[in-house]
Structure 1
């Protein structure tokens, strides 16, 4: 008889951030001039739910809006590896394992390209074995940590070896050139996003941590134009329709219920919610549709307030905050949203 698959358990989390900057100062010193003091732009920018965030580029000191994509990618290669190294090292230390023990290294990023990629460079610098398997997840956007986590969990169950998932996003490299007309989608994008690296270590059969039970995905039909990330001559340009919260509202309750159904649980049984802070209205919609209290989304709003939306790694930052107060055997739902329009979820259990 074959042995039962190993349980895939998150035992280590780590994060790293570049310099911090203040949202009000960004508006006063840079974006107010860019948007000519426009009152609606100001309201959207300062009403984004973000108080401070991080960036390898602070536009108050360095305006990259007219840089070519090639120049931005060179900067990405300078900045992303050390940030990723710090987050991965912290997660490995938190899990109490060596990089040499890692069997699969998953690197997630939608804000930069390089071949050979960050996975090659960081595997070497962290001290992983030459035989380590690598997976690079690119251009999936804000929900990409969950497919990365799902692949890592499948590997751990099948192979009985640890896996490391690292998200590195440098959104500050993609400030877009100024436009003659007011572009409110760009105002919102420039207001929300920050830079970060976040990592998780998944190990087989650990006694303590967050066991990954399942991951799922739902893509709203004919929603491709609502959220996009286009490569242009001047970096990557975000498309972000104001219709996103409304479309999300139609799917989040059913998708969450389907995820929980496999365990016989329902929404009232969930002891922790790691909701991606895509923006304040998106968090509002999740609260409304799932009947969550402000206390249940406090970790989400706290990350939005102090870090902004850091794309793929943000849900891991929320999970890191959330895990500190979980009860034994608590069921946890992590969810993130991105291009497609796609909703990805992970079902976890606290050990």
Structure 2
């Protein structure tokens, strides 16, 4: 069908306008101000435990030294855990004051909450203070606060206590994330990214504080996961500051958060569970978790890579990896499924070795370890996993010139 010159002109203009809009969209994409991690600070309780002797301490402090066979089983778990040391707010003196924490059948939820609602924000404040010190800006410039913890549920929550402990503004916008599990450190980064990219000049403080006192109890032959948990989990807090457009004179970007996303493996809600009961928090972890993670991690990482600049053509071994060190099987599964060189998991294994599994704090500890090492790869990803089964991930660009230390 023939068309008149005026139609040709309209088509030409439309094509020209379309290309103009494409260039505008590309320009907007290039000029978008990405969220950046501006500072990271850590804190641990004063009680440091050697993994090789922990079963002896654990069975002794819970008055269960007579359960020799069960202690030997725990010793084998500890010996295979790839952990050397862990930290805990609990010590012999604390447990003497709170025998209900380990006395079978003794209700203790109220006492655990009272204990943790004090200790969780105190440790979080130490980590946040370290992050604020590194950041170097006035605390009054913090506009948003995200607090992450499995423990110490109370009203008002740890977020309100942290406002006072840190001297934050009374109008700081607060988000409280309770009971999410090991992936919540990445959840907090995802929320912070959305906040700062949609609120110019904002600065978000993430405070993540985890303690396993909520699950501590005497060993029980009929519930082996208590022993597994007591063999793996440690206490630790981390503070992270996130913002956009860092002031080149007073701030530095450690990592740009280029993309953040989450996925759930279908029909896996039964695999990782936690139940609050009269004598504390009970965890259940199905043995199928590493296998399910193995089935889902590669498709999830492919999704992450779809958001990397096309011209990079990165392979996984050309990237850095901050993977939640939930245990040796978790780290090994990610390494195998992504065909990673062993050195790519070295930061995760370092955190597991020196701190154990500190739930949501773990992956942020790994990021802190990566930024302290000589910069090799510019691009990378951080991954964490937990109940759901949930996979959380972020695509990161490391500012190589800024992070060598």
Q: What's the TM-score, normalizing by structure 2?
A: 0.81
Q: CA RMSD in A?
A: 2.1
Unaligned runs of 5+ in 1: none
Structure 2 residue 216 is the aligned partner of structure 1 residue 175: yes
Larger of the two Rg values belongs to structure: 2
After TM superposition, give the deviation of residue 267 of structure 1 in Å: 3.8
- Measured against aligned partners, the alpha-carbon deviations of 1:303-330 in whole angstroms (never above 9, x if no partner) come to 1111000011110001000012353771
The match for 2:51 is: 23
> Could you tell me how far apart the structure 2 residues matched to 1:258 and 1:269 are?
17
The match for 1:276 is: 324
The match for 1:10 is: 37
> Could you tell me how far apart the structure 1 residues matched to 2:264 and 2:242 are?
26
Greater shift, 96-105 or 324-333, is seen at: 324-333
The match for 1:65 is: 102
The counterpart of 2:187, out of the listed 127, 147, 160, is 147
After TM superposition, give the deviation of residue 145 of structure 1 in Å: 1.0
Confirm or deny: 8 A CA contact 1:26 1:59 kept in the other structure. Answer: no
Q: What's the TM-score, normalizing by structure 1?
A: 0.93
Structure 2 residue 344 is the aligned partner of structure 1 residue 296: yes
Unaligned runs of 5+ in 2: 1-23, 247-251, 400-405
- Measured against aligned partners, the alpha-carbon deviations of 1:257-315 in whole angstroms (never above 9, x if no partner) come to 11011213444364311110000011110110011122111111111111000011110
The counterpart of 2:159, out of the listed 94, 109, 119, is 119
> Could you tell me how far apart the structure 2 residues matched to 1:198 and 1:253 are?
28
After TM superposition, give the deviation of residue 16 of structure 1 in Å: 0.5
> Could you tell me how far apart the structure 2 residues matched to 1:298 and 1:329 are?
14
Structure 2 residue 272 is the aligned partner of structure 1 residue 244: no
1:1-351 equivalent positions in 2, closer than 5 A:
6-18=33-45, 19-31=47-59, 33=65, 35-38=67-70, 39-58=72-91, 62=95, 64-66=101-103, 68-160=108-200, 161-179=202-220, 181-206=221-246, 208-263=253-308, 264=310, 265-268=313-316, 270-325=318-373, 327=375, 330-351=378-399
After TM superposition, give the deviation of residue 126 of structure 1 in Å: 1.0
After TM superposition, give the deviation of residue 222 of structure 1 in Å: 1.2
> Could you tell me how far apart the structure 1 residues matched to 2:315 and 2:152 are?
37
> Could you tell me how far apart the structure 2 residues matched to 1:257 and 1:188 are?
32
Confirm or deny: 8 A CA contact 2:318 2:377 kept in the other structure. Answer: no
> Could you tell me how far apart the structure 1 residues matched to 2:294 and 2:240 are?
29
Greater shift, 246-255 or 75-84, is seen at: 75-84
Confirm or deny: 8 A CA contact 1:65 1:174 kept in the other structure. Answer: no
- The secondary structure found in structure 2 opposite 1:48 is coil
